[in-house]
Structure 1
């Protein structure tokens, strides 16, 4: 990595004396507002303002943008600083540093710290936005969370050759000729190859395999000739845990799996290598299933869907699994298998109409079906899912 002190003191051509018309590309979509700007650009971090020099009358004077890929989420934007892009003709702040390479401004605020959101809101959009620069791009991080940067440093280092700038604490005026504000985003935990820049989730998985030196690219159909197929059961402790987890793991072993029951750890490099060694990964709907990005192609993902939580299951993990060339199975928990049974009157809307609870807002829905529900799996029903998984990865 090139130290930022050395980088900022490199000799670069002076900006032209005359102010020319900047070029704006609006890359916005339903999930994110994104601007790419080419011109005389000056960013003042401590005022959250980007100045773009222009001498032409009648142009739009300013925009406000929240550089986090969860557009329309009013709750999360309270934790992400907004930035102003101002089209100025005069009174521009003087440049303290002039930089010759492109830069990308994005936020690690919002829901960062939840692994699912780490990937769907930041890492996948950052890959989509920065990969074309082949490392020759500088990251300006707003709402910087040091633990987040440390955790995902291998990915960030693979995308940029330069040290990250904590732009909120930057007192100098940094000047660029090309800047992207915000991150491209397509779908939840997914990439649409039909949309620019025409990458795919398989491209992203290949990028991760290279980043973490993962050995297994694909699961073959001849696993059992050399070993028992390996299954990872993602354990949970705070909520949505499998109450009969030990019994379920023993049943999987009796069917022929080599089973590991474990909570995934903090060290993403260790987790990536661990998950890549499995043929089947299963867990209750939650952030732990995000680790499917490290599974080899043709591995099996089993999502256990808590009662009432189907609304989140398909977009968050079912559809993304297909884009990653993984085989997907799901198990829908019945009310009799849920700890919700008995918490509410028998005619409660919680049991009758989860969609109506969802319409009351995310916080209400989440508190009922996700934060306060554990599951006890029915052996005879769940055995069928395990048998299907075994058939998919055995000879």
Structure 2
């Protein structure tokens, strides 16, 4: 890490020597750099009076202080050096306050769970904190970035936010978070197009996102209310009768007896299968509004349960002895939004898995035991909005 920083520092110093300086009054030569606890990466780092050197693609903070000792992980993703500047450079563009954060986008695709857990909720927690006491709009620019691989240097050449991906859910999710309230400026090579040897200046810039501990009902419900508001969903959208949705998965961790399960509970409640594949982000959020119980095997589709109507029940299913899945993390997030139940397969004979290829049952398909499924649905129908709707009949 130190060797890499020395190389970057040499590049930065070389570029600064040949730069034409302006007479702008911004005191960018007097910067600061510090870190607090982060969610992903482990530190949430902050800089004042920083520049982005287009030539070296490096963030430079004008301070004689060294990089915070524990910040290696964060500044491995966002290349930052601390070095005193004697005069301010000409700024091609200026940002008052920006937050650079990363989201899961490798091999041209994303992950719906990590997008929410590692990115959206932690970033929103910062925006919410800024809004408190702001007495109006807050001037924060959202600058999503992409890692070349997990916790490795950001990919300036990513096409994640190019026009070809404009309809992809990970782009639509970021646009929904920003809305009309915040500017959304992806941090990619387009920042350099007009002046490849220039500079972008930041009055304040943050790297990463603050620490979030789940369950946090206030945070999750505030976030989902914001997204519902963005999509025009109000209290009038609440379901008028009890309905169960069973999420269909088509590749891995499938429920192999979906139709049998639906047929088994239809005498108790209206029920249907739902598949989110091919839906836009807004369509997925809208689709779950009709359910008072949403059931799904651990996986991306179940993350839509955070958008369920208030008081609806989320039910997570899990394969037999799946020791390497994020079952607990899913549970903590879903508990943050409201009633939550869980079924873990305890019957090895109902587990369908190639143990040589998948020794931890992470991809296992499951035949869900019908009697146990009926029991957990009956429990769900006795709590939350389901109980209220039943009492109103």
TM-score by length of 1: 0.73
Distance apart, 1:158 and its partner CA:
2.4
- 1:171-250 matches, within 5 Å, as 171=192, 172-187=198-213, 190=214, 192=216, 200-216=219-235, 227=241, 229-250=242-263
Residue of structure 2 equivalent to 1:291: 304
Kindly indicate whether residue 103 of structure 2 is the aligned counterpart of residue 94 of structure 1: no
Residue of structure 1 equivalent to 2:270: 257
Distance apart, 1:216 and its partner CA:
4.1
Label 1:216 to 1:66 Cα distance change in 2 as closer, same or farther (>3 A): farther
Label 1:389 to 1:218 Cα distance change in 2 as closer, same or farther (>3 A): farther
- Matched position secondary structure for 2:262: helix
C-alpha distance in 2 between matches for 1:335 and 1:152 = 38
Residue of structure 2 equivalent to 1:369: 361
Give the count of matched residue pairs: 331
Residue of structure 2 equivalent to 1:385: 376
C-alpha distance in 1 between matches for 2:322 and 2:349 = 15
- Matched position secondary structure for 2:183: coil
Label 1:374 to 1:51 Cα distance change in 2 as closer, same or farther (>3 A): same
Distance apart, 1:53 and its partner CA:
1.7
C-alpha distance in 1 between matches for 2:44 and 2:28 = 27
C-alpha distance in 2 between matches for 1:367 and 1:179 = 44
Is the Cα contact below 8 Å between 2:324 and 2:362 reproduced in 1? no
Q: Which deviations, in whole Å up to 9, do the C-alpha atoms of 1:50-77 show, x marking residues without a partner?
A: 11123x5xx2157765559xxxxxxxxx
Which runs of no fewer than 5 residues in structure 2 stay unpaired? 1-22, 132-136, 147-157, 193-197
Is the Cα contact below 8 Å between 1:99 and 1:174 reproduced in 2? yes
- Matched position secondary structure for 1:101: strand
Distance apart, 1:336 and its partner CA:
1.7
Which runs of no fewer than 5 residues in structure 1 stay unpaired? 1-12, 69-80, 194-198, 345-349, 351-363
- Matched position secondary structure for 1:104: strand
- 1:57-136 matches, within 5 Å, as 59-60=65-66, 82-90=77-85, 94-109=89-104, 113-131=110-128, 132=130, 134=137, 136=139
Label 1:307 to 1:31 Cα distance change in 2 as closer, same or farther (>3 A): same
Label 1:31 to 1:272 Cα distance change in 2 as closer, same or farther (>3 A): same
C-alpha distance in 1 between matches for 2:298 and 2:185 = 33
- Matched position secondary structure for 1:141: strand
Residue of structure 1 equivalent to 2:144: 141
Q: Which deviations, in whole Å up to 9, do the C-alpha atoms of 1:57-112 show, x marking residues without a partner?
A: xx2157765559xxxxxxxxxxxx72232222247783332425211112234566
Distance apart, 1:113 and its partner CA:
1.0
Residue of structure 1 equivalent to 2:281: 268
Residue of structure 2 equivalent to 1:152: 173
C-alpha distance in 2 between matches for 1:302 and 1:62 = 42
Q: Which deviations, in whole Å up to 9, do the C-alpha atoms of 1:18-65 show, x marking residues without a partner?
A: 833x33341224643211222x210125634111123x5xx2157765
Distance apart, 1:331 and its partner CA:
4.2
C-alpha distance in 2 between matches for 1:243 and 1:378 = 11
Label 1:275 to 1:252 Cα distance change in 2 as closer, same or farther (>3 A): same
Label 1:319 to 1:262 Cα distance change in 2 as closer, same or farther (>3 A): same
Could you list the structure 1 runs, at least 4 aligned residues long, displaced by more than 6 angstroms after superposition: none
C-alpha distance in 2 between matches for 1:257 and 1:297 = 19
C-alpha distance in 2 between matches for 1:388 and 1:310 = 26
Q: What is the alpha-carbon root mean square deviation over aligned residues?
A: 3.2
Is the Cα contact below 8 Å between 1:301 and 1:321 reproduced in 2? yes
Q: Which deviations, in whole Å up to 9, do the C-alpha atoms of 1:247-302 show, x marking residues without a partner?
A: 11111212222324323544011110111221000011111110011101211111
C-alpha distance in 2 between matches for 1:215 and 1:244 = 35
- Matched position secondary structure for 1:42: strand
Is the Cα contact below 8 Å between 1:216 and 1:276 reproduced in 2? no
